[in-house]
C-alpha cells in the first residue's frame, strides 16, 4: 500500500488523517479520515478501477491566493485530481461524493444570501461539473458538523454526526 498526503506527520500505514485545508490520496486498503466539517466541505474523489481515492477538506469556496490550494474548494479539487492522476487514476472514471457545507452559525449570510457552507458546496459542485466528474452521493447542508471516513478499497464514505449518528453514502 502506498500513501500520499500533503502532511505526512499524521500518516500511518493504513490510516491517513486529513486536516483542515489539506488533502490526501490513498491506494489499496488505506482509510482516509477527517473531522470537524462544519461549514467546510469534504470532497471525495474515487477511481474504482485504479484503486485510487482522495479526500479534501476545504475551508473556503474559491482561491484568493495560491499559497495553499487545499484551503479552497476549487483549487483543492483540481490539486487532488492532479495528485490522483499521478498515481494512476483516470479522470474519465473518477466519481465524487460531498459532505459538510453546513450553516453552523446564525450570521447574516453574504454573497446573495448564502452561507459560507452553501457557497463551499456550490463551488465544489461547479468545479466538479467543469471537470466532468459526476457526484454520485452527497450529504451537505443542515446545521450540524460531520466527521468522515473513506475506505479506499470500496469507495464507501462513512459519515458521523451528532444529528444522525453513523451512516454510509
Residues with a catalytic annotation lie at 40
How many Cα atoms within 13 Å fall on the side-chain side of residue 121?
21
Vertex 15 angle, CA 13 and 19, to 5° = 125
Helix axes 116-130, 73-85, angle to 10 degrees: 40
Q: Which of 135, 138, 137, 34 is nearest to 94 (CA)?
A: 135
The set of cell numbers assigned to 87 is: 498515481
DSSP reduced 3-state for 123: helix
**What φ, ψ does residue 111 adopt, rounded to 5°?**
55, 60
Amino acid at each position: 500500500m502506498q500513501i500520499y498526503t500533503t502532511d505526512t506527520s499524521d500518516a500511518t500505514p493504513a490510516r491517513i488523517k486529513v486536516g483542515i485545508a489539506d488533502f490526501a490520496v490513498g491506494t489499496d486498503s488505506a482509510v482516509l479520515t477527517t473531522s470537524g466539517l462544519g461549514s467546510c466541505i469534504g470532497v471525495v474523489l474515487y477511481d474504482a478501477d485504479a484503486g485510487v481515492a482522495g479526500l479534501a477538506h476545504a475551508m473556503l469556496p474559491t482561491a484568493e491566493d495560491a499559497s495553499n490550494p487545499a484551503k479552497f474548494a476549487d483549487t483543492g479539487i483540481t490539486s487532488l485530481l492532479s495528485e490522483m492522476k499521478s498515481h494512476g487514476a483516470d479522470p474519465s472514471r473518477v466519481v465524487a461524493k460531498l459532505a459538510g457545507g453546513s450553516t453552523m452559525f446564525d450570521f447574516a449570510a453574504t454573497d446573495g444570501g448564502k452561507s459560507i457552507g452553501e457557497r463551499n458546496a456550490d463551488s465544489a459542485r461547479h468545479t466538479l461539473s467543469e471537470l466532468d466528474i459526476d457526484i454520485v452521493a452527497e450529504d451537505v447542508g443542515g446545521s450540524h458538523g460531520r466527521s468522515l471516513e473513506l475506505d479506499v478499497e470500496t469507495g464507501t464514505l462513512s459519515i458521523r454526526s451528532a444529528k444522525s449518528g453513523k451512516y454510509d453514502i
